[in-house]
A and B are shown apart, each in its own frame.
Chain A
Amino acid sequence: MTSTLAGQDALAATPQSGATTSQASRPRRFAGRFATSTTSSGTVPLTKPAGLGLGVAMIWFSLLTLIPLIAVLVETGSHGWGAFWDTVSTAQTASALGLTVLTALGVTAINMVIGTAIAWVLVRDEFFGKRLLEVIIDIPFALPTIVAGLVLLSLYGPGSPVGINVANTRTAVFLAFLFVTLPFVVRTVQPVLAELDRDVEEAAASLGASRLTTLRLIVLPSLVPAITAGAALSFARGMSEYGALVLLSGNLPGQTEVGSVRILSYLENGDTAAAAAVATVLLLVSLAVIVALDVISRRVARRG
């Protein structure tokens, strides 16, 4: 986010800089990072009051977030590599972690396709009730996760009006992940698609490119960073989901139990070390996602 003045001049020289700026007015809950590449003025070195503010903010941030998260890593580290490996390789925990990773990956793959399609419909299509779709996409983000589980149970649980009951199966885990991760790809792709220069597509079409060629060579390449960023967020969210599964998946050991549920049951049995070991696995995945997002947004910023 620290763009130098020279960098800004280079960005301002490309026609897209205007697009990057106005993009910030679109829904950008998850796309904020893409809008931060241009600034109209530079930044200044810390003044005294600002330095004091930074100190206070860092103390609170450390007390609330950094020290507790480091405590998880330290707790795991203090019991050694052997204890860590013993915990994560027990059949029940390994199965839970495997299910979590595989389901999160599967859901993310689906979101990359359907999320892009939804974003396309929201940006390029026009029909009665489109605003309702906008609200529907935000519902999984707004809904308390425990309520999300309850909501899915009403259609896919024991009392289903269409007779589908997936409660306490792996399908339920998949469904819950699909529900809570719905907004991420849509909301990262949507603003980028909205800012895409349609002239280029029309030029391609007028030069005889088929719709598929235009899509493949012109539209998709510019969407790839946004789709990747959305996918990373969606994967991280899936990996860490807990609330939506509580009522829906039954948390059956070896079958529908996921990583965060393992942490909770270790904790309830007083085995803090084991809980911390599983938490470390989830934390490292989150960290990897944050780093990946940072790299992607930097690459986007460089391209202007």
Chain B
Amino acid sequence: MSSLEGWLAVAERSTTRYVLRVIVIVYLALLVGWPVWLVIQHTFGNGLEALRAALSDVFVVFSLKLTLAVALQAVLLNTVFGVGVSLLLARYTFPGKRALSALVDLPLSVSPVVVGLALILVYGPRDGWFGAWLHERGFEVIFSAPGMIMATAFVSLPLVIREVVPVLQERGIDEEQAAASLGATPLQSFWRITLPAIKWALVYGVVLTFARALGEFGAVKIVSGNLVGRTQTATLLVEQKYQDFAQSTAYATAFLLAAVSVACITVVTVLRKDHAGTRSTKHASASAKKRGGQ
């Protein structure tokens, strides 16, 4: 290969690189970057006025508080369930395990509207499978808090599991078995060995669940009944305010929701990156050892 040809090859390589880079940047700017920037501009068009006006609206404040309360309870449920199921999937063999591990992913690809309908069919007060029975005993699920929490927990169910299971599987059970043979109770070995090991994966999972829970719209719209000042969450309020031509309130509330969600995701990305460094070196050495042994 002559030096000219070599130079041409390098030039061609860097041209492809630049073209691809520009295409990707332009695409992302048009689809996400620019529109997001415009929403920020809309919100701060009059300085902090729109934000202040929105936050002095009692219904806005109520909906934000309700969203936070529902999201936190859904996150709590999914954290307990997620850690439990992750341990079961990673540590034990039992019949139906493959089905369970496939089914826990199902909520991610079910339409929120279908989720809402499904919950109504089972927990609806009039002719729901269990709902009528619960209703007679004075326990309301649909059009009240339990239903909203369930809908939110449903749509964000797999997020913790998807983060924690791979980490548990990588680590294996040697350490727990060693601890058990030295007389540790299962609870001790969970707090002292398992939990520290999955700490970061759990944090990622919880933060993702929280972001998803804050933004739930379709499922909550159906099961909550969307009663202003009673079961109207922040996302439902954004829709209503926009359609009532209270656009600055809609934009301001949307901005608040988006800011929290995006902050969550950014924290996850940063944490993951900082943490990934230490973890991948550990694994690199582990896998090098494994390869060396053969």
CB within 8 Å: A-B pair count: 333
A 68-84 binary contact with B (CB < 8 Å = 1; else 0):
11011001000000000
- Given A57-B81, A151-B35, A46 contacting B111 (CB threshold 8 A): no
Residues from 18 to 49 in B contacting A, C-beta threshold 8 Å: 20-21, 23-25, 27-28, 30-36, 38-39, 42
| B257 touching A242, Cβ below 8 Å | no
Instruction: Assess whether A6 is interfacial by the CB under 8 Å rule.
Output: no
| B218 touching A242, Cβ below 8 Å | yes
Q: How far is the CA of A19 from the CA of B118 in the complex (A)?
A: 41
Q: How far is the CA of A18 from the CA of B92 in the complex (A)?
A: 24
User: In this complex, what residue of A is CB-closest to B286?
Assistant: A21
Within the complex, which residue of B27, B105, B283 is in contact with A21, where a contact is CB–CB below 8 Å?
A: B283
Residues from 249 to 294 in A contacting B, C-beta threshold 8 Å: 259-261, 263-264, 267, 272, 275-276, 279, 282-283, 286-287, 289-291, 293-294
Instruction: Assess whether A217 is interfacial by the CB under 8 Å rule.
Output: no
| B101 touching A1, Cβ below 8 Å | yes
**In the complex, how many angstroms separate the beta carbon of A215 from the nearest chain B beta carbon?**
10
| B28 touching A260, Cβ below 8 Å | no
Q: Contact size class for B?
A: 35 or more
Q: Which residues of A contact B (CB under 8 A)?
A: 1-2, 12-13, 15, 17-19, 21-22, 24-29, 32, 35-36, 38-47, 49-51, 53-54, 56-58, 60-61, 64-69, 71-72, 75, 114, 117-118, 120-121, 124-125, 127, 133-147, 150-152, 154-156, 161, 175, 178-179, 182, 211, 233, 236-237, 239-243, 246-247, 259-261, 263-264, 267, 272, 275-276, 279, 282-283, 286-287, 289-291, 293-294
Q: Which residues of B contact A (CB under 8 A)?
A: 12-13, 16-17, 20-21, 23-25, 27-28, 30-36, 38-39, 42, 81, 84-85, 87-94, 97-98, 100-123, 129, 150, 153-154, 157, 162-163, 165-167, 169-174, 186, 208, 211, 214-218, 221-222, 235-236, 238-239, 242-243, 250-251, 254, 257-258, 261-262, 264-266, 269, 272, 275-276, 279-280, 283-284, 286-288, 290-291, 294
